[in-house]
Structure 1
């Protein structure tokens, strides 16, 4: 009999446990929540000690890193700062003269020449200007001032080391006794020939010489028939000896009597291609004196829009 009673008790406990596991309360916490709450109550003190230990470890790490950084700055940073300060004080100060030496030098400008114009009572104004810089290119505006009057503003350029004349043709105001030239809006650009072609290796002189290799050959001035305003004829050949095609090339025509400027004119040749020669004939009215003819070509080789692209045929590399 006792054995049967124990068996009944065991069976009852198993049944009770199964009922508890399958119990789903309608209200209140579930068994899982009760178990978690019980685990938290039993282990709360232990978890608190772990958290305190982690905080202490983090605090020790931060304080240790701070002390190490301060010590490193004291023993290494301060001496390095003192050394840098000594080096900075040893470097010479950048003076105004130093900056000026790095900048472009001003134009060299001569006196204004007042010349007889192409017939009538008008006048031509001309002044020699030079860019003394070997590696600076400039664009600028200019106009002439005659008493209270000014001429129209024009845009011009100067290549490195280039010399030319600025001119105002057929000024029809009262014949001036003197005049001056005003130059404004100067835009200096240091020449970087590698921007155009790396073959020049920074040699500005070679770059300018090759690309501005344009000549005026066979210049001949034929005086016109005698009269009040004779029509003279100037003939020359414009030759493009450079390997590039240009949309525009200016030719400044100078007449000299000894060292004195006696007359000036200007002619623009359009679409002058590489290796091309063009015969130019200009009618130059007025009484012209002067035994020496000088024709100065001027082409803006730094204006990329002035280059005519080469026309390549089929089968050629492009």
Structure 2
């Protein structure tokens, strides 16, 4: 068979025809799918628009919905309950003890009073009360009036104590008038519960100074005016030695205080007993009872002999 260069190979023509047919089929399928989606989209466009808007509304409205629910809950349920609880708390009455545990109540100073203390001498005094169970107090005081301006004196008062502060044996030719008490430098000291957990025990251990052999003689010395004598024995039953322990003596007619005096006992050591005498030089009415009260600042470290 002779070779003809212009003749196309039959095999090449036969192999190309199937590929062209496949591509045409794929393209036709894509066009049909695109047409179907477009037709479905346009047909359902109103519905899809509603769905989209619904989603947007939900996203935007969610925070406001939560806020509205919270406000309704506060207004109807939670709010009234909390207001009721707050009113209950505000209605609780705090006891005086609770208040004084946090802050101190001011001292209560009485009016200045004066007794004749002998010829040309006068005893001036005032009662002071400390209502605080957890505070002891230091202060300075003096008595002033017509014909009198005394020096400032140091005073103290223990927790819960009622006592007299005095200026005894003031020498004046005439009885001072319009006497009044002045105070300054009032310092409150709160008891540290970590250092002194039991104040009653702390005080008892340091103030165990019993008084015995008491005797009051209203006519111990007789002259123009009877001079009275109060004698007693004081014993230091504590484990501490003190530089100075004072003793105030009070004489009463019924419940009325009519005379007072003071004696200081230096260097009273542990276990020691002292026999003491106090004279009253002014003329006294009939005495129905008397008191002897130790005077000692148990919080003052300088008062202990170490």
Provide the TM-score with structure 1 as the length reference.
0.59
| Counterpart secondary structure, 2:205 | helix
- 1:305 is aligned to 2:297: no
- 1:20-42 CA-to-partner distances (Å, cap 9, x unmatched) read xxxxxxxxxxxxxxxxxxxxxxx
| Partner deviation per Cα, 1:66-103 (whole Å, 9 max, x = no partner) | xxxxxxxxxxxxxxxxxxxxxxxx9x9xxxxx998722
1:41 aligns with none
Distance 1:181 1:215, change over 3 A: farther
- Greater shift after overlay, 264-273 or 176-185? 176-185
Following the alignment from structure 1 to structure 2, what is the Cα–Cα distance between the partners of residues 244 and 164? Answer: 23
- State the partner residue of 2:212: 217
1:295 aligns with 2:292: yes
| Alignment gaps of 5+ in structure 2 | 1-85, 90-97
Please give the TM-score of this superposition, normalised by the length of structure 2.
Answer: 0.62
Deviations 1:11-63 (CA, angstroms, capped at 9, x unpaired): xxxxxxxxxxxxxxxxxxxxxxxxxxxxxxxxxxxxxxxxxxxxxxxxxxxxx
How far is 1:242 from its partner?
2.0
- Report the counterpart of residue 259 of structure 1 in structure 2: 255
Q: Which residue of 2 aligns with 1:167?
A: 166
Moved more, 205-214 or 125-134: 205-214
SS of the equivalent of 2:119 reads coil
Q: Does 1:157 align with 2:156?
A: yes
Q: Secondary structure at the match of 2:243?
A: strand
Q: Secondary structure at the match of 1:144?
A: strand
Structure 1: give runs of 5+ residues left out of the alignment. Answer: 1-89, 93-97, 310-318
Q: Which residue of structure 1 aligns with residue 239 of structure 2?
A: 243
- Deviation string 1:233-261 (CA, Å, 9 cap, x unpaired) is 22101122222221111100101111111
Partner of 1:105: 105
Q: Secondary structure at the match of 1:228?
A: coil
2:148 and 2:176 in contact (8 A); partners too: no
**Alpha-carbon deviation of 1:159?**
1.2
Compared CA separation, residues 261 and 177, structure 1 to 2 (3 A): farther
Q: What is the aligned counterpart of 1:275 among 250, 259, 271?
A: 271
Change (3 A) 1:225 1:279: closer
How far apart are residue 179 of structure 1 and its match? 2.0
- The Cα shift of 1:185 comes to 0.8
Q: 2:252, 2:99 → 1: CA distance? A: 40
- 3-state SS of the aligned residue for 2:221? coil
CA distance in 2, matches of 1:273, 1:156: 23
Number of equivalent positions:
210
Say whether the 8 Å CA contact 1:126–1:264 is kept in structure 2.
no
- CA offset at residue 156 of structure 1? 1.3
Counterparts of 1:306 and 1:226, CA distance in 2:
39
Q: Looking at CA atoms only, which structure, 1 or 2, has the larger radius of gyration? A: 2
Q: Report the CA distance shift for 1:100/1:247 in structure 2 as closer, same or farther (over 3 A).
A: closer
Q: 263-272 or 149-158: which moved more?
A: 149-158
- Aligned ranges 1:101-250 → 2 under 5 Å: 102-117=102-117, 119-147=118-146, 149-173=148-172, 174-192=174-192, 194-195=194-195, 202-222=197-217, 223-250=219-246
Q: CA deviation at 1:229?
A: 4.5
What is the RMSD computed on CA atoms of the aligned residues? Answer: 2.7
Q: How far is 1:227 from its partner? A: 2.4
Q: Distance in 2 between matches of 1:242 and 1:132?
A: 26
Q: Match of 2:36?
A: none
